[in-house]
């Protein structure tokens, strides 16, 4: 099935000095309402597009554009590394301990709203799930016609389409090797 995502899609930090491109459509989108996501984003939730990290390209890759990596706690207790612009410190993506460095959780708010080909991407920026809804703001309502809601996390096999599950599973060997080496985030770069 052809992806509705008009790839490549560009994204950038708030000041524009860190620019990146997604060269493949994301696997899945999470809308997370956990308290930690609210705290980090300064908003009521975070919208993350999950994609294999090898399909996130920084352009041009100069030393000034290498993201700062900040180790942060998560609601699950496993932790994450947030990639931030080295100038304005806007979070552009994360890597979670549970999925390792081969999966990037791209902050969809940093994506350009129009692709290089002129296609609008806001039509495809729809969550596949609403997670950690137990922490949502009391006035916030989620539409079950848009996506299923879960008070905490969920079982991927029960929600994700087969093709996206297969893409995710293809990253597991790389993550197991990383875990066997000691699961050191420093392998990705300097941790702040």
| Inside any domain, residue 158 | yes
CATH of the domain at 15: 3.90.1590.10
The two structure tokens encoding residue 95: 């890597």
pLDDT in tens, the chain (192 residues): 456 777 889 999 999 999 999 999 999 999 999 888 888 888 889 999 999 999 999 987 677 778 888 888 777 777 789 999 999 999 999 998 778 889 999 999 999 987 777 778 877 888 999 999 999 999 998 888 888 999 999 999 999 999 999 999 999 888 877 777 776 777 676 677
- Which residues lie across from 56 on neighbouring strands? 22
Sign of the alpha-carbon dihedral angle for 90, 92, 98, 102: negative
What's the structural domain count of the chain? 1
| Inside any domain, residue 186 | no
| Inside any domain, residue 184 | no
Torsion of CA 18, 61, 69, 31, to 10 degrees: 60
176: Cα separation from own chain's centroid:
20
pLDDT score of 89: 92
Question: What is the rounded distance in angstroms from the CA atom of residue 84 to the CA atom of residue 71?
Answer: 11
| Inside any domain, residue 62 | yes
Q: Euclidean distance between the first and final Cα of the chain, in Å?
A: 41
Question: What is the rounded distance in angstroms from the CA atom of residue 45 to the CA atom of residue 180?
Answer: 33
Alpha-carbon separation of residue 173 from 64, 80, 92 (angstroms) = 31, 19, 25
The two structure tokens encoding residue 18: 């860190």
Cβ–Cβ < 8 Å for 9, 112: yes
Q: Is 157 exposed, middle or buried (0-12, 13-18, 19+ CB in 10 A)?
A: exposed
The two structure tokens encoding residue 169: 């599973």
3-state secondary structure of 70: strand
**In the 8-state DSSP scheme, what is residue 163?**
H
pLDDT score of 131: 92
Q: Which domain range does residue 146 map to? A: 9-178
Torsion of CA 111, 117, 119, 122, to 10 degrees: -10
pLDDT score of 1: 43
| Inside any domain, residue 37 | yes
| Inside any domain, residue 106 | yes
| Inside any domain, residue 1 | no
What global pTM score does this model have?
Answer: 0.88
| Inside any domain, residue 3 | no
């Amino acid at each position: 099935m052809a992806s509705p995502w008009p790839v490549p899609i560009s994204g950038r930090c708030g000041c524009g000095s860190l620019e990146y491109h997604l060269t493949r459509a994301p696997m899945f989108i999470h809308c997370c309402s956990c308290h930690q996501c609210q705290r980090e984003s300064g908003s009521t939730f975070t919208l993350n597009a999950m994609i294999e990290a090898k399909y996130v390209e920084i352009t041009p890759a100069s030393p000034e554009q290498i993201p700062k990596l900040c180790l942060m706690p998560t609601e699950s207790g496993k932790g994450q590394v947030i990639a931030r612009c080295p100038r304005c410190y806007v979070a552009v993506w994360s890597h979670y301990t549970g999925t390792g460095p081969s999966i990037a959780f791209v902050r969809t708010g940093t994506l350009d709203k129009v692709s290089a080909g002129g296609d609008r991407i806001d039509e495809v920026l729809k969550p596949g799930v609403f997670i950690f809804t137990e922490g949502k703001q009391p006035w916030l309502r989620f539409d079950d016609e848009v996506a299923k809601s879960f008070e905490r996390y969920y079982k991927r096999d029960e929600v994700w389409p087969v093709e996206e599950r297969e893409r995710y599973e293809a990253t597991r060997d790389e993550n197991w090797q990383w875990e066997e080496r000691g699961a050191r985030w420093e392998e990705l770069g300097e941790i702040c």
